[in-house]
């Protein structure tokens, strides 16, 4: 077999990137007694970070993670969602719905779990390229570490490199469409006048066309505040949001900006194929992100766990060809494919309707007791059940039909 490990320099699974998806994949493979090495280009795990840190309580349960207390900055029990004309829909529950997390600490905690299972973590180790053999098979990676270029051979590569998806393209998998990558700018702010246990989301073309602006409280008077858009510079939208938005400005304009970060939010759902010979793509690299909210830790993590399981099985069966690895693609699509699809439909709908229709949609949502329905059966990660119910409720359905009619006969 072409795939032989060069003794001193081989491993079962080499993982590109030290983000949460990589950690989840690694942990599953390590539990199955596989040799795993993770390569992270930065000098510290979890730094820099581009994330609001909002992760559902139920998501952590699904991931089977008990979050250490030091990672938890705040707990929220609901959200307030503002329409373009500032009508608000409030969704509230009595108990905690989501945790606001220090993502740097969470990432460190996850990687430490992999280390405790004998995973080998290389920091300041930038993967430069894939080593390919005959038939274009991936045999390993070329890594720059401590100024030296090393070659690391492995039976399988798991690619958790995040949104840039350079290696995804190198193995010939489809790339995420540009229009589905939404640049975002986020401020960490102090001295803001916010509601500690509610997340606030603001829609509208003037605020954050193509996504939404948000305020995520990290304490009584600190918050993560962001705008994301691919219609111009998100920083300009964020400044406008803080200074001029009739509701948000009252909460934020006297605030102090303590930190700025920028990143890209994915809204298009997964790419069409996430595996190749000896290669599996996970997390942001393959679009395992909720198109409605841009959250990628939970669904990305759940799919990455499947990658760790399937990679281990492939090694046990001595078949790392794509004929076997297709199993990963099938398994995650069976579990979450419909979820990504429903959420993408809703995201595209919101992005394409004029603000006036969105305002009407918000009104219809309030009149149809949909917030109460969401309070009762809503789920931050698995949203397809509630989406079906909402989209097919009589008034919303009528609104949708009139919107489609207006699009066809403007």
Q: Which is nearer to ligand FAD, 275 or 403 (CB)?
A: 275
DSSP labels, 69-106? GGGEEEEE-EEEEE-TT--EEEEE-SS--EEEE-HHHH
Among 119, 204, 210, 263, binds ligand FAD (CB under 6 A): 263
Q: What x/- string results for residues 75 through 114 when contact with ligand FAD is judged by CB under 6 A?
A: ----------------------------------------
Helical packing angle, 384-391 and 394-408, nearest 10°: 80
Sole window of 5-13, 205-213, 283-291, 361-369 interacting with ligand FAD (rule: CB under 6 A):
283-291
Among 10, 300, 371, 378, binds ligand FAD (CB under 6 A): 300
Here the tokens at position 185 are 């700018």
Among 162, 204, 361, 378, binds ligand FAD (CB under 6 A): 162
How far apart are alpha carbons 340 and 302 in whole angstroms?
Answer: 13
Q: Measured from the CB of residue 142, what is the shortest distance to ligand FAD in angstroms?
A: 10
Determine if 16 is a binding residue for ligand FAD (CB under 6 A): yes
Determine if 73 is a binding residue for ligand FAD (CB under 6 A): no
Determine if 270 is a binding residue for ligand FAD (CB under 6 A): no
Determine if 306 is a binding residue for ligand FAD (CB under 6 A): no
# chain residues binding ligand FAD, by CB under 6 A:
37
How far apart are alpha carbons 343 and 226 in whole angstroms?
Answer: 21
Among 41, 102, 309, 339, binds ligand FAD (CB under 6 A): 41
The answer to whether the beta carbons of residues 400 and 391 sit under 8 Å apart is: yes
Determine if 36 is a binding residue for ligand FAD (CB under 6 A): no
Residue 312 CB neighbour total at 10 angstroms:
22
Determine if 21 is a binding residue for ligand FAD (CB under 6 A): yes
Determine if 184 is a binding residue for ligand FAD (CB under 6 A): yes
Q: Which residues face 159 on adjacent strands?
A: 16, 281
Q: Which is nearer to ligand FAD, 17 or 204 (CB)?
A: 17
Determine if 186 is a binding residue for ligand FAD (CB under 6 A): yes
Here the tokens at position 162 are 């995040």
- Which contiguous run of DSSP H or E holds residue 145? strand 138-145
> 3-class SS at 403?
helix
Determine if 20 is a binding residue for ligand FAD (CB under 6 A): yes
How far apart are alpha carbons 232 and 210 in whole angstroms?
Answer: 11
Sole window of 4-12, 46-54, 113-121, 313-321 interacting with ligand FAD (rule: CB under 6 A):
46-54
How far apart are alpha carbons 265 and 262 in whole angstroms?
Answer: 10
Determine if 214 is a binding residue for ligand FAD (CB under 6 A): no
Q: Measured from the CB of residue 179, what is the shortest distance to ligand FAD in angstroms?
A: 16
Among 37, 161, 309, 339, binds ligand FAD (CB under 6 A): 161
Q: Which is nearer to ligand FAD, 269 or 295 (CB)?
A: 295
Place of tokens 């705008």: 227
Q: Which is nearer to ligand FAD, 337 or 395 (CB)?
A: 337
The vertex-304 CA angle with 299 and 310, nearest 5°, equals 135
Among 17, 210, 234, 308, binds ligand FAD (CB under 6 A): 17
Which residues, in sequence order, are CB contacts of 291 under 8 Å at separation 6+?
Answer: 266, 267, 268, 269, 340, 343, 344, 346, 347
Q: Which is nearer to ligand FAD, 184 or 242 (CB)?
A: 184
Determine if 71 is a binding residue for ligand FAD (CB under 6 A): no
Q: Which is nearer to ligand FAD, 160 or 371 (CB)?
A: 160
Q: Which residues face 303 on adjacent strands?
A: none
Q: Measured from the CB of residue 86, what is the shortest distance to ligand FAD in angstroms?
A: 23
3-class secondary structure for 343-365? HHHHHHHHHHCCHHHHHHHHHHH
- Which contiguous run of DSSP H or E holds residue 341? helix 338-352
Determine if 37 is a binding residue for ligand FAD (CB under 6 A): no
Burial of 96 (0-12, 13-18, 19+ CB in 10 A): middle
Here the tokens at position 47 are 């730094």
Here the tokens at position 321 are 């060809």
Q: Which is nearer to ligand FAD, 225 or 370 (CB)?
A: 225
Among 25, 26, 27, 55, binds ligand FAD (CB under 6 A): 55
Strands (E), 246-289: 256-266, 275-276, 279-281
How far apart are alpha carbons 101 and 23 in whole angstroms?
Answer: 17
**Contact footprint for ligand FAD (CB under 6 A):** 16-22, 39-42, 50-55, 126-127, 160-162, 184, 186, 226, 263-265, 283-284, 289, 294-298, 300
């Amino acid at each position: 077999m072409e795939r032989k490990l060069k003794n001193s320099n081989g491993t079962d699974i080499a993982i590109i990137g030290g983000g949460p998806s990589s950690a989840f994949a690694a942990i599953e493979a390590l539990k199955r007694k596989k040799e795993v090495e993770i390569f992270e280009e930065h000098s510290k795990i979890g730094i820099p970070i581009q994330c609001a840190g909002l992760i559902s309580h139920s998501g952590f349960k699904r991931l089977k993670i008990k979050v250490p207390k030091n990672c938890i900055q705040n707990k929220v029990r609901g959200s307030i969602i503002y329409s373009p004309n500032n009508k608000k829909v409030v969704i509230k529950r009595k108990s905690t719905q989501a945790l606001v997390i220090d993502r740097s600490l969470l990432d460190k905690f996850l990687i430490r779990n992999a280390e405790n299972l004998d995973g080998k973590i290389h920091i300041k180790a930038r993967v430069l390229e894939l080593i390919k053999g005959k038939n274009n098979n991936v045999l390993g990676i070329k890594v720059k570490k401590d100024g030296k270029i090393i070659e690391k051979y492995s039976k399988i590569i798991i690619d958790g490199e995040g949104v840039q998806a350079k290696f995804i393209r190198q193995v010939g998998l489809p790339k995420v469409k540009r229009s589905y990558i939404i640049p975002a700018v986020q401020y960490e702010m102090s001295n803001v006048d916010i509601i500690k246990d509610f997340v606030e989301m603001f829609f509208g073309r003037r605020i954050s066309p193509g996504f939404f602006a948000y305020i995520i409280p990290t304490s009584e008077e600190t918050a993560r505040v962001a705008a994301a858009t691919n219609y111009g510079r998100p920083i300009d939208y964020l400044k406008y949001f803080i200074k001029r938005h009739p509701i948000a400005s009252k909460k934020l304009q006297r605030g102090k900006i303590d930190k700025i970060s920028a990143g890209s939010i994915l809204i298009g759902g997964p790419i069409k194929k996430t595996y190749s010979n000896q290669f599996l793509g996970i997390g942001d690299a393959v679009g395992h992100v909720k198109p409605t909210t841009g959250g990628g830790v939970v669904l990305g993590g759940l799919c990455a766990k499947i990658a760790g399981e399937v990679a281990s099985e492939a090694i046990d069966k001595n078949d790392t060809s794509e004929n076997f690895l297709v199993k990963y693609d099938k398994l995650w699509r069976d579990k979450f494919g419909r979820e990504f699809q429903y959420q993408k439909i809703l995201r595209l709908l919101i992005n394409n309707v004029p603000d006036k229709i969105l305002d009407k949609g918000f009104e219809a949502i309030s009149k149809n007791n949909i917030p109460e329905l969401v309070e009762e059966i809503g789920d931050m990660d698995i949203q397809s059940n509630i989406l079906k119910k909402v989209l097919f409720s009589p008034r919303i359905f009528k609104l949708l039909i009139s919107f489609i009619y207006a699009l066809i006969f403007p």
